[in-house]
Chains A and B, each alone.
Chain A
Amino acid sequence: MLSFLYARQSGLDDPVRLRRAESTRRVLSLELNHNRDVDRVHGNGINTLDIEVIDGRYMLSGGSDGVIVIYDMENNSKKLKYSCKVVCTVGRSSRHVHKFSVETVQWYPHDTGMFVSSSFDKTMKVWDTETLKPAEEFQFDGNVYCHHMSPIARKHSLVAVGTKDPKVQLCDLKSGSRIHILQGHRGEILSVRWSPRYEHILATASTDSRVLIWDVRRASGSLFTLDQHNGDKSKASSEAVNTAHNGRANGLCFTADGLHLLTTGTDDRMRLWNSATGENTLVNYGKVVNESRKGLKFTVSRGCSPEFVFVPCGTSVAVYGLHSGELITMLRGHYNNVDCCEFHPDYQELYSGGKDCNILAWVPVLRQPDIEDEKTNSKRGGTQAAVNPAFEDAWSSDED
């Protein structure tokens, strides 16, 4: 560690290198912590979480009971033991609350004055955070599975919405219009995601096993479809040609630089694609258990090297190396199925929510003082502070 600091100081190393190494170390030591908790408000499972991008201070959660809660994650109490407090909620008593379960919530990417939520009551509501009243409401014909706003858009303010209808709808926040539709899928749209690199590129995943990449400026259809066999038509049976998965494609996540796209499907596989060419990189993650009938919300770490993927698998969260495909660890702690997880890039913390109505915070374990002295650490269990044997009192007797 000191050599890294010295190299950074003397200019031998890029400043980013120390940050990446330390972020990676922190992600590898994620654990449940006594001292960090999130207030429990939801009476039913938690479907979605979102942490705002600007400060990383406020977190939104949407539950199966239609309730939306905002938490303040900053610790101003000067005590080690801290519970993330609820700032405000849109509860069952509010006049504007969603009638059925909230499937996706997202903060407005540029400030926390606004957030958008979509629900199985076939509506998508744009809320004003100050008054907690919807400023705009969009009605749809079928259940809304997911929506997404582009995190980097400057030229447009479109929200992509995936519903039961095979047509992807784009709603404009500035004008309130929703005439722009993207046609190409043949089944329900389970997940939509804008690219974090180009503000006009959109990826959509559907129950027809295909994942399509669109440029919204283009009038005619999609740019390309992701093919798991990379065009090698001989590998699959004839129905499975040009599909991203052998079952429903239900999860999408771009890596932080937007160069790669991860997709998950009900064939229990996760695939990594080159987002520019649509080529399957053939990284084999093994069996990623996926029984979700709706979209699966998973996330990728930011600022580490190598990057990690956090996928909810049953009652635990699986952590995979992004490019190596190996399973690093399973984070166990929930009592029931985990539905969503969100990574906090500044503190390298992971928040996960599930059917047991809890949001768990996975916090990196503090650095141990003797990293070289592994033998003494393992003897004492590793988590307690290890005393250097030179300072141990080995001579005074107990009788004194």
Chain B
Amino acid sequence: MSSQISTGTPPASSQSPTVASPPAAVQDPTTNLSTSERVVLEYLRARGHGAAEKAFLEELETGSPDDKGKQPETIGAQDLVKSLAVFAEKPSRPGENILNESSNVLQQLNSMPNPPNIQSLIASIGSVGAEELLSLDPTDKQEGYRELEAWVDGSLDMYRPEFRPILFPIFCHFYLDLIQHGYKDAALRFFSAYSPSLSTSHTATLHHLSTLLLPAHVQNDELAQRFRNEKYAIRMSRSGFGLLVGWLTEGVGGEASGSGDGFTGERGKRGRAAVMRVVNNHLRFDVTSTNPTAVSPHAWEESTGLFSSLIPQPNASLKTLTNPHVFNASKGDLKLGPAPISEELRAEAERVLREQAMVDRDPTTPFDIQVNRPMPGPGMIAPTEADMLPRPSTFKTIDVEREVNAVRDARKRIRLEPTVLANVDADSPQAAALRARALPSICAYTLHDVAEGSPCCTFSQDTSLMAAGFAESYIRLWNLKGERLKGLRSDFSSSSVKDPASLQKIREKKGTTTRKLIGHSGPVYSVAFDPLSGSAAPPKYLLSASADATTRLWSMDTLTNVVAFRGHENPIWDVKWSPMGIYFATASRDRTARLWSTDRTSCLRVYAGHLSDVDCVQFHPNSLYLATGSSDWTARLWDVQRGSCVRVFIGHQGAVGSLALSPDGRYLATAGEDLAINLWDIGSGKRVKKMTGHTASIYSLSFSAESSMLVSGGADWTVRCWDVKSAGGLRAKPRENGVIENGIRGYGEDENSETVDLLATFPTKRTPITNVQFTPRNLCLVGGVYQSTESR
């Protein structure tokens, strides 16, 4: 529910209520001109505003006597206002600005015995000037912000977490206003005075704003324009909102002790008017009926911010959607169940499994393929064959092998049950045994002697190959089993190839366990092995994405580049295969994600809607949906076929750098530059929980095969294991003297502490972890580049 402050009336009319004279009174100018001049001059002199007085006199002198007939209108209406405005720009006596008292002036002038033409002059000042002047006055904003801050800090503990988020948008708007009107010095003073007290979670935005110094910057900067054109959403309880309205209109409540005459004075009123203007024009309040203390500490992240452009707007309805949950709900249910498997393939795989069971003389092993396939959970709709992306109607041997091996993997999988650790004391004797049941074994692959850095690495599903992309534009391939990599030669006649044996003949004679793949002309940001052969055989293809705006497909048979996919205009940050192969998706700096298939060089779909770089991309396990994370701080879920956005996930306070979808298709985990990992329920689009503990950027996320555990790796040289199912939340703080500290840390504070669902932290020596992934049997592989101490 959203509402505007209806009680807020334009400040000008509220401050000059007496001005009601009709403009018809401007008919007899000449007679009383001197009187009006004298009144103004006398007033200016009395108040000691020499400069303004001089300006006024000059205005009068330049006007020739014969012009006097029309002078009153021109001077009175515009020039006087202008000269006052000029005066306002350089306050000779800070703190006692003429504009500060402009309403006083009006009142005093009103109270004098005035002839009607003066009244008309005042009227013109009142209607034309006052509001303009007010919005131009730099000190007004300082004052207004100072009072708002004092009011928020002086409010009851219960309401303070609700009120604190107001400060940030108002600060931003004031700063932008000041810059816009050319008060650079005042803006910088304002910034340095008040930015330190704002929440640390806004540091990045604040820094960005601080780089805007000229009106032209504000005009051109995207973030500034978003602040200008969109409404900043803030959630507030009904009672809190009432208090805010009360303060804005009457200046009551929440006075900090020792703040002088408080907010009731004229200046306070004018400061509040400035705040009010921002509140009316740029903020939108979601007034909830919930108790302010009942809201979870991080709830503000989901409900505070510039939303209207983050949320895709349906074309048909005129009403703009401003609540992500409303949007998510409007998109209906998603088909999150596992992808269907064709009947023939299933039958064939079962036949093979049965045969193997006979050979192994172990008829008890379940060979029913369905047993080991993930079942759609309660409330999840499984897609049908008709929903799927087009794929070949017939299956190949490798498909059968893949399915057979998937069953075998499921049988031999290490079961990870982090829930057993939930209520166990870490020091108790059985804890060690339980840890072994709950936590994975992690094998770390460390790259040494990397000159300029390796932005990515990946392992094939059968763990036979590792590929790493390097900043020096090449990809290196390693065989982890120590076998030689032998490509097919290119100098052979196709007629000589008849059977697999002759194909082996045309392989290279020599080979090493590593191979350099050269083709890109910029840093390689992502590599991915094709999933078609699963864990049954080595992959056939490798995809790589680079800063040169191309995605390249490499054949693992020939060890050469076979296709370059062009279409993106900017560096490509990420590339991922669809779980069924054939299709893949890329994420680029050009703010789009695209869908491709390996047999076409142009893209099939463009997913546009993010407001900034698309940093990461990942398919849903059933290939129906595509999840993207972006530098606009959101993650989105797209319908792959229709190309429309079906979910938006708002809550991160920084760019979303990596994401992972759980194999059961239920959860999305995103990691942001705010060093938090958010877990989302895809179906409802709501955040399940926020997991914190990392101390530097998180580079990679991966779910275990049972979706019960999440593993993350990042720039803080650690690998961390998280319990997906537990409730999470911050560790209960020791309470001092029985005081519950819950209230204050609600907004942007306490960001770095670990949540209770952090099961284990495994530090490496000096290796930022660039890739984390689980094998089908739940062994965790991590990769990273060792940073030798002497280099940078």
Specify whether A and B are partners: no
A residues touching B (Cβ–Cβ < 8 Å)? none
